[in-house]
Structure 1
Amino acid sequence: MSPRTWAPTAPRSRLSGALRPVGSRVTSGAADVGVMIGGSGQGGDRPPHVGGRPCWPGLLRYAVTISRGNNDANVLVLGANLSTDADVEELLELWLATPFKGGVHAERLAQIGRLEAGR
């Protein structure tokens, strides 16, 4: 496990009630990243500046590397109904180890941020 501060949810939690507290910890700086584990891994509503991306075992490496490398996701959303404990461990380790690429991806995220802010 990376020495980051993170805000996990309990396994198989109801994301609608858990996403806001995890997102709030991440956006306030109390946690660097968050991990959400729900049934399907779809996630619920998200607060602003929380870039959660669902990652399923069948698309394991691709989804994780894109979510962090291209999208700078700060919340990993996992599906407990679709993942084994080994899948979850592998997803989390890969996600934490994947750096954000920046460049054109940072420009795109800045553009999205401006659109979300209405500018």
Structure 2
Amino acid sequence: MTENKRIVLSSDHSAITLRQVIANHIAAQGWEVVDIGPVTAESTDYPIHGEAAAQHIVSGDCQLGIILCGTGQGIMMAANKVKGIRCGVCADTFSARMIRQHNDANMLSLGARVVGEGLALDIVDAFLSAPFDGGRHSKRVSMIEALEG
């Protein structure tokens, strides 16, 4: 895995603008952003983008990922099909913090039609600033990983 703080971002067509706002926000915090698109508003399929972002994480290219679609649900479901991914949809900062602290989530999913820009940035900050607590949670994360086969 790379030593730099690298994060992959992807979305479907419905979330391009919010994805770009998030990319600029986290780049200003020192993250190297790997934005894998799309760049046009032409309709595109969120499973392709969720899986592509997830591959950047499992390959070790990026430590974390943020993915977006209209609700955040579909793209999250696609990403979670990739072995090694723990992605949660969040519409509040508490959940974003907890998926990192308790579940060692390596991806965050957001719904561009659910949260506004200000809340989305707060959710991203909560996700990125929360460390994994380990301890009793490590056992539970291992149990989740065992479900992958």
The answer to whether TM tops 0.5 is: yes
- Amino acid aligned to 2:147: L
Correspondent of 2:96 among 41, 64, 79:
64
Q: Distance in 1 between matches of 2:8 and 2:112?
A: 17
What's the Cα RMSD here? 1.5
Q: What SS class does the counterpart of residue 37 from structure 1 fall into?
A: strand
Contact 1:14 1:38 in 2 (8 A): no
> Do residues 91 (structure 1) and 92 (structure 2) align?
no
Task: Quote the residue 2:85 is aligned against.
Answer: 50
Post-superposition offset of 1:34: 0.5
Post-superposition offset of 1:55: 0.2
**Per-residue Cα deviation, 1:45-74 (whole angstroms, up to 9, x for no partner):** 231111110001xxx122111110100100
Unaligned runs of 5+ in 1: none
Task: Quote the residue 1:41 is aligned against.
Answer: 72
Post-superposition offset of 1:83: 1.1
Q: Distance in 2 between matches of 1:55 and 1:109?
A: 19
Correspondent of 2:59 among 3, 28, 39:
28
Stretch of structure 1 that moved more, 8-17 or 75-84: 8-17
| Equivalent residue pairs, number | 112
Post-superposition offset of 1:15: 2.2
- Amino acid aligned to 2:8: A
- Amino acid aligned to 1:29: G
Task: Quote the residue 2:49 is aligned against.
Answer: 18
Contact 1:15 1:44 in 2 (8 A): no
Unaligned runs of 5+ in 2: 17-43
Correspondent of 2:143 among 104, 111, 117:
111
- Amino acid aligned to 1:6: I
Stretch of structure 1 that moved more, 5-14 or 61-70: 5-14
What is the TM-score when the length of structure 1 is the normalising length? 0.86
Identity of aligned residues (%): 23
Post-superposition offset of 1:111: 2.1
Moved over 3 A (4+): none
Post-superposition offset of 1:110: 1.1
What is the TM-score when the length of structure 2 is the normalising length? 0.70
Q: Distance in 2 between matches of 1:50 and 1:115?
A: 12
